[in-house]
Amino acid sequence: MSNKPVITRTRTIAETRLFRVEQLDISFANGVDVVYERMYGSPHGAVLAVPMLDDDTVLLIREYAAGAERYELSLPKGRIEDNEEPVAAANREMKEEVGYGARQLTQLKSLTEAPGYFRHETHVVLAQDLYPERHEGDEPEPIEVVEWQLSKLEQLLEHPECTEARSIAALYMVRSYLHGEKR
């Protein structure tokens, strides 16, 4: 499988404020031609910040998730604006959502979600050496900030409001990173 398929045609079939749906004509090396559809998210991707008050205390947010039609415990996140680096976007999102900025920001990894049909990357950023600073965000209601210990991560996973895969993956990555475990 060394020959990557060739996209022979791409066209937009729907577009909203947040997403674009594209139809792709793809030719595979074995001669098979197929038509795929994919969603295309923000052109610059998104960030997911992991704000650490100390080496064991992370700041989570509890906010309404329209896709799941319920409140969700997750990490601060948002799209990257034009001409903004992922670490700057993470710092901005934290100031808007948890009321803290960070003096030390480390980009750990970029994650995809459902890469078979969704073209989007989320950059995971570890935020340490926090300081209080609140900026106005675009949230429709105040976001609840919840302190949680990484040492109790398994208990968090049992919580019915903690199901967002990117946040769960990021918490495990940060716990491993902070405790020197091999990834």
How many other C-beta atoms lie within 10 A of the C-beta of residue 75?
28
Residues 94, 102 contacting (CB under 8 angstroms):
yes
Amino acid 1: pLDDT: 57
R_g of the chain, CA atoms, integer Å: 19
How many other C-beta atoms lie within 10 A of the C-beta of residue 118?
13
Distances 123 to 27, 109, 111 between C-alpha atoms, Å: 30, 6, 6
Amino acid 181: pLDDT: 62
Spans of the chain, pLDDT less than 50: 182-183
- One-letter amino acid of 164: E
Amino acid 42: pLDDT: 82
Amino acid 183: pLDDT: 45
Distance CA 59, CA 119 (A): 28
User: In order of start, what are the domains of the chain with their CATH numbers?
Assistant: 6-40 (no CATH), 46-178 (3.90.79.10)
What is the dihedral angle through the alpha carbons of 19, 127, 158, 63, rounded to the nearest 10 degrees?
-50
Residues 139, 97 contacting (CB under 8 angstroms):
yes
Amino acid 52: pLDDT: 98
pTM: 0.89
